[in-house]
Amino acid sequence: MKKALVIAPNWIGDALMAQPLFALLKARNPRLVIDALAPKWVAPVLARMPEISTVFPSELAHGKLQLSARLLFAQQLKHEGYDVAYVLPNSLKSSLIPFLAGIPLRVGYRGEARFGMLNVRHANPPRDKRPPMVEHYARLAVKPGGRLPESIPDPKLKTDPVRMAATAERFGIPPQTRVIAFCPGAEFGPAKRWPAAHFAELAQMLRRSFPYAQIIALGSGKDAEIADEIVKGAPFVRNLCGQTSLDDAVDLLALSEAAVCNDSGLMHVTAALNRPQVAVFGSSDPRHTPPLSQAASIMWLQLECSPCFKRECPLGHLRCLKEIEPEMVFVELRQLLHRP
């Protein structure tokens, strides 16, 4: 095989957890050219992966068929000479473009009646029996039923110090500033978001111990409201949620000395940058989607009711997050900040 197309996942975290698949494919065939078709909100992450040659950003909306747009993409890709396509989402619509583009081998997991769309189909285990997502995606690098290598590489993103410095300057962060990042959002829902009051109390603790540190809040425009709540309790925190592009956020996380993240796309970005972080888990399971970095510390209470994988706490108490006290996170974060 000379050229492969990846149909990327719709979420930043999933795209990063798929990167070991690309690394395994390149390890097996170093001359393989890997391109990716990705939603525009995920494309910047794919573009920073060393294994990916070209990224085709798409405006295809999550959950919509948009057949004419998919047919147009297929026509554009038809003459690119792809030998194989790896379809990472499980939906029928995600397999349409490689099929319509006439790519000979189309690899993916069984799902949504796409028997004719994929011709190399892997058994798709039930969600409660699925291995960690990195392993789940990496299995597409081997034949159905085949064995994975004993060692699977962690996700890794490329960084550019010159670009990082320019981004910091654009946001008024002087050189050599000690930056600590808060990532208080989580697209899935409130049951994955550590309380804003806890973030604010943690910020006050950090202010007393590291008075010259600049604490910034990063996330999308949807996260600006929770970041505003943090600022009410800690006015010195800079709320940059909604003011940064994903590329900007990657640069700012790369220059941060440490971060505190919910289980979110930015948690996986921080891990792929190998930056120290405390990752707070509530309704989700760090055994399934952990931050893949030796520099990450996971806070998860593993209560009898978790993981429930719900958007909102079905019991109404949100103990899995509220009982992770700011002091607990501060102790972990301080150890990270003092680590050589």
Q: Does residue 8 lie within any of the structural domains?
A: yes
* Residue linked to tokens 């319509």: 100
Domain check: are 69 and 172 in the same one?
A: no
Domain check: are 136 and 166 in the same one?
A: no
* Residue linked to tokens 């971060």: 259
Render each residue's pLDDT in the chain as its tens digit; 340 residues: 899 999 999 999 999 999 999 999 999 999 999 999 999 999 999 999 999 999 999 987 666 678 888 898 899 999 999 999 999 999 889 999 999 999 999 999 997 777 889 999 999 888 777 889 999 999 999 999 899 998 899 999 999 999 999 999 999 999 999 999 999 999 888 999 999 999 999 999 999 999 999 999 999 999 999 999 999 999 999 999 999 999 999 999 999 999 999 999 999 999 999 999 999 999 999 999 999 999 999 999 999 999 999 999 999 999 999 999 999 999 999 999 887 6
Q: Does residue 21 lie within any of the structural domains?
A: yes
pLDDT score, position 17: 97
Residue 137 has which token pair? Answer: 């995606």
Domain check: are 264 and 331 in the same one?
A: yes
Last residue of a domain, one of 111, 141, 171: 141
Q: Please, are residues 201 and 233 in contact by the beta-carbon 8 Å criterion?
A: yes
| φ, ψ dihedrals at 53, nearest 5° | -85, -55
pLDDT score, position 63: 65
Q: Does residue 152 lie within any of the structural domains?
A: no
pLDDT score, position 197: 98
Strand intervals (E) in 273-312: 277-280, 296-299
Query: Strand, helix or coil at 66?
Result: coil
Residue 132 has which token pair? Answer: 């960690």
Query: Strand, helix or coil at 278?
Result: strand
* Residue linked to tokens 């297929």: 74
- The H or E element containing residue 103 is none
- Describe the chain by its helix, strand, coil percentages, rounded to 5: 35, 15, 45
d(CA 8, CA 128): 23
Angle, helices 265-272/246-255, rounded to nearest 10 degrees: 50
d(CA 137, CA 108): 9
Domain check: are 295 and 241 in the same one?
A: yes
Domain check: are 185 and 311 in the same one?
A: yes
Domain check: are 114 and 223 in the same one?
A: no
Residue 241 has which token pair? Answer: 């949620």
> CATH number of the domain that 233 lies in?
3.40.50.2000
Q: Does residue 43 lie within any of the structural domains?
A: yes
Domain that holds residue 18: 3-141
Domain check: are 215 and 295 in the same one?
A: yes
pLDDT score, position 184: 97
Q: Does residue 151 lie within any of the structural domains?
A: no
pLDDT score, position 67: 84
Last residue of a domain, one of 141, 172, 204: 141
d(CA 308, CA 313): 8
Domain check: are 168 and 225 in the same one?
A: yes
Domain check: are 167 and 42 in the same one?
A: no
Number of domains the chain is built from: 2
pLDDT score, position 111: 78
Domain check: are 90 and 194 in the same one?
A: no
DSSP β-bridge partners for residue 38: 57
pLDDT digits (tens, 9 = 90+) for 241-274: 999 999 999 999 999 999 999 999 999 999 999 9
SS (HEC) of 66-117: CHHHHHHHHHHHCCCCCCEEEECCCCCHHHHHHHHCCCCEEEEECCCCCCCC
**pTM of the predicted model, to two decimals?**
0.93
